[in-house]
Amino acid sequence: MTLEESLPSIAELEKYFDRLWPICRSLTGAGFRDSMRILKELMPLEESEIPSGTQVFDWTVPDEWNIEDAFVENEVGVKVIDFKNSNLHVLNYSEPIDQWMDLEVLDKYLHSLPDQPNAIPYLTTYYKRRWGFCLTHEQRQRLKPGKYRAVIRSTLAPGVLTYGHAVLPATVKTADEVLLSTYLCHPSMANNELSGPLVMSYVFKALQALPERRYNYRFVVVPETIGAIAYLAKHGEWLKEHCKAGLVVTCCGDANRITYKRSRQGNAGIDRCVIDTLAGYKKSYGKSYEVEDFFPTGSDERQYCSPGFNLPVGSLMRSRYGTYPEYHTSLDDKSFISFEALQESVLLYLRALRAFECNERLVTTVRCGEPMLGRRGLYPSLGSSKQTEEAVSRMMYLLNFCDGENDLCAVAEKAGCSILDLASHASILKKEGLLVRQPGSSS
């Protein structure tokens, strides 16, 4: 089965997107749990709960938030703002309210974007008790002076923060892991956020279908920031020892471009393998990409790459958070993304992970002079043919540069090709006993 054959269908992706879309997710509460229950149809996520008030490193798990309804109605009972139309209308984590007030008072609790008058902004108040409504600027300008009733039927009370994870075991004996992490705390937004959990789920399914995996794969679904911190509080020490690579899966749904944000280490194996993959993909399909250095704002790589962990975790995205005008508004919807792009994102993740699987540190067994490829049938017996064969050249690169200093990715860079271009040749040379795994190398 090729990687392409293991991709989800457009219909399947769209079905799950449509089911997840309307749910009002947040850091905590029923919306998060209901969404995770849907993902569990695709991945065997194991749920964990952390009680409100628990200290996780420098943070404290907040009270659990649940919401039933929210609206603003005018004196004649018309709902001028209605949570049922968009769950972005309520300031996320709003405390409950039910009160009549004049427009000028209400106005202090309204949030809109004058520069994007048709967009509802996405705002949260996780760590400060207040309430509010978000609406388009056009909607706001239509509000007439008068009395309004603001109603938010929410609860904020001790409860739990929920997260899920699943470990897909390697087919060989190893404690080495690859981490994939996404978040599930955003209400109805498409690129940021549903693209992340969807791509991750289908990466899981495709990896599960593979006959061989050299690494254990850890799939983590958390609420952003606090969830990743809570996860590290519980699993960080394990990850420090075993996590050899990781990717934060987010913003991978739009069709515009491909972006890779390096890990804080900057040139970790996963960084080099993703870039090798994107370079190869560009060569084959003309798709360009950008590579960004790590920066400490962003998504959960902030936590995985905090100096106390400094894990080799990057992020493979399309249009990165903060760079497109629809970001964190109601315009980041189904029309902003493309299901073909989602499919392609799954493929890019699978290619990058395959490159990482292939990126062994091999050593050549014939170190003095080159090995005689001819008697192994690997060299044209009309030896001086004018065309230097690409295959011979790649084998020569492997046999010369697999000296214990270079992993496959480094050899590929020298040879001007990609890891996967070398991998089949490496495999032949391993069978011939000309290359062996470097003793004691974890990857």
Does 113 engage in binding with a copy of itself (CB under 8 A)?
A: yes
Among 370, 424, 427, 441, binds a copy of itself (CB under 8 A): 370
For 145, how many CA atoms within 13 A lie in the half-sphere containing its CB? Answer: 1
Window 6-45: residues binding a copy of itself (CB under 8 A): none
Does 76 engage in binding with a copy of itself (CB under 8 A)?
A: no
Window 159-188: residues binding a copy of itself (CB under 8 A): none
Does 108 engage in binding with a copy of itself (CB under 8 A)?
A: no
Q: Closer to a copy of itself by CB, 217 or 327: give it.
A: 327
DSSP 3-state of 178: strand
Window 280-299: residues binding a copy of itself (CB under 8 A): 293, 295-297
Q: Closer to a copy of itself by CB, 113 or 207: give it.
A: 113
The full length of the chain comes to: 443
Window 378-397: residues binding a copy of itself (CB under 8 A): 381-386, 388, 392-393, 396-397
Mapping DSSP onto H, E and C, the string for 197-223 reads HHHHHHHHHHHHHCCCCCCEEEEEEEC
Does 364 engage in binding with a copy of itself (CB under 8 A)?
A: yes
Among 105, 137, 132, residue whose Cα is nearest residue 120: 137
Burial of 362 (0-12, 13-18, 19+ CB in 10 A): buried
Q: Closer to a copy of itself by CB, 219 or 231: give it.
A: 231
* Least gap, CB of 12 to a copy of itself (angstroms): 30
Window 290-349: residues binding a copy of itself (CB under 8 A): 293, 295-297, 302-303, 305-310, 322, 327-329
Q: Which residues 6+ apart lie within 8 Å of 405 measured at CB?
A: none
Provide the residue type at 46 as one letter.
E
Give the number of other Cβ atoms within 10 Å of residue 139's Cβ: 18
Q: Which residues 6+ apart lie within 8 Å of 398 measured at CB?
A: 362, 364, 411, 422, 425, 426, 429, 435
Are the C-beta atoms of 407 and 269 separated by less than 8 Å?
yes
Among 38, 101, 103, 123, binds a copy of itself (CB under 8 A): 123
Among 400, 421, 430, 438, binds a copy of itself (CB under 8 A): 400
Among 137, 264, 318, 320, binds a copy of itself (CB under 8 A): 264
Window 43-62: residues binding a copy of itself (CB under 8 A): 56-60
Among 303, 165, 312, residue whose Cα is nearest residue 229: 303
Among 232, 331, 342, 346, binds a copy of itself (CB under 8 A): 232
* Greatest Cα pair distance in the chain: 93
Query: What tokens appear for 66 in the block?
Result: 């649940």
Query: H or E segment at 43?
Result: none
**What is the binding site for a copy of itself (CB under 8 A)?**
56-60, 91-92, 111, 113, 121-128, 130, 225, 228-229, 232-233, 236, 264, 293, 295-297, 302-303, 305-310, 322, 327-329, 364, 366-372, 374-375, 381-386, 388, 392-393, 396-397, 399-401, 403, 414
